[in-house]
Amino acid sequence: MGKKTKIMDLKIREDAYKMAIEKWGAKAQLEMAQEEATELALAVRKHIRKNDDASFSNLVEEIADVEIMIEQIVMMHNDFGFRQMVDAQKAFKISRLLKRMNENSFEALEKEKEA
């Protein structure tokens, strides 16, 4: 990775997202998010099977697509404190993951499902 990649300015990304949402509408962007998430799932599956440069490159591409769509979804729901709600869910789930790792099992998951 000798060539440095310049990360696009946040303002430019946000402007692009706003234009996409205005042009195609929120529903279309949600449908696109669904499509990109499906493509990511398939890329993960393919990378598990092949684990080669091509599957790795495709995995990177699909992660980028999904992150772009997630950023648009967050933008579409920003008025409702969506980012804070997502961050709170992430904190909860990471905490639960740490608990499971400390217990060295996933029995906690089964107990939570039964409750």
Which pTM was predicted? 0.80
**Which pLDDT tens digit goes with each residue over 38-77?**
999 999 999 999 999 999 999 999 999 999 999 999 999 9
79 Rama sector, left if φ>0, alpha if ψ -120 to 50, beta otherwise: alpha
Residue 80 token pair: 């409702």
Instruction: State the Cα–Cα distance between residues 55 and 72, nearest whole angstrom.
Output: 26
Cβ–Cβ < 8 Å for 56, 47: yes
Mean pLDDT of 14-40: 97
Instruction: State the Cα–Cα distance between residues 69 and 34, nearest whole angstrom.
Output: 9
- What are the domain boundaries of the chain? 9-76, 80-115
